[in-house]
Amino acid sequence: MADLQLTDRAMFDLSEIRDYSINQFGVEAANRYIEGVQNGLLLIKEHPGLLQTKDKASGAFSFYPVQKHHLVCTEIEDTIIVLTVTHCQIDLISRLAELEPMLLEEANILFESLKLQ
């Protein structure tokens, strides 16, 4: 089983998804949706081989689709770091090309802070 960590950006994304879901569909539906995302996180923690790559995306990223979102991850040693959570309708490849340096820097900072603990 791999270690799994979420960046602050990923945590913010999940908070935004929950808030949007509450506003659009109500608290119960939002809780079910977030529970589904949490189940996806547990699944990739237990089975990292489920992470997928995309031909046009940087080799630094791997993905796991969960409901209407993608968990965008990178792996450092035996740690899976969830960088961001994006809706399936966005142009993922273009968005990641734009964010790649910042996302990878966030992952490295988080990984280094974990080593100090």
What CATH number is attached to the domain comprising 75? 3.30.2310.20
Side chain identity at residue 109, one-letter code? I
Count of structural domains within the chain: 1
- pLDDT at residue 68 in the model: 92
HSE on the CB side for 1, CA within 13 Å? 8
Quick check: 63 and 54 in contact, CB under 8 A?
yes
Closest CA to 42 of 75, 98, 80, 99: 80
- Residue range(s) defining the domain that contains residue 36: 3-116
Across 13-17, 22-26, 61-65, least confident range: 61-65
106 falls in which pLDDT band (50, 70, 90)?
confident
What three-state secondary structure class fits 35?
helix
pLDDT of residue 55: 64
Over range 6-14, report the average pLDDT: 95
**Mean pLDDT over the full length of the chain:** 87
pLDDT of the residue at 92: 67
d(CA 20, CA 24): 6
Is the pLDDT score of 20 beyond 80? yes
pLDDT in the model for residue 105: 82
Q: What is the pLDDT of residue 1?
A: 77
Does 28 score more than 90 pLDDT? yes
pTM, rounded to two decimals: 0.80
pLDDT at 10: 95
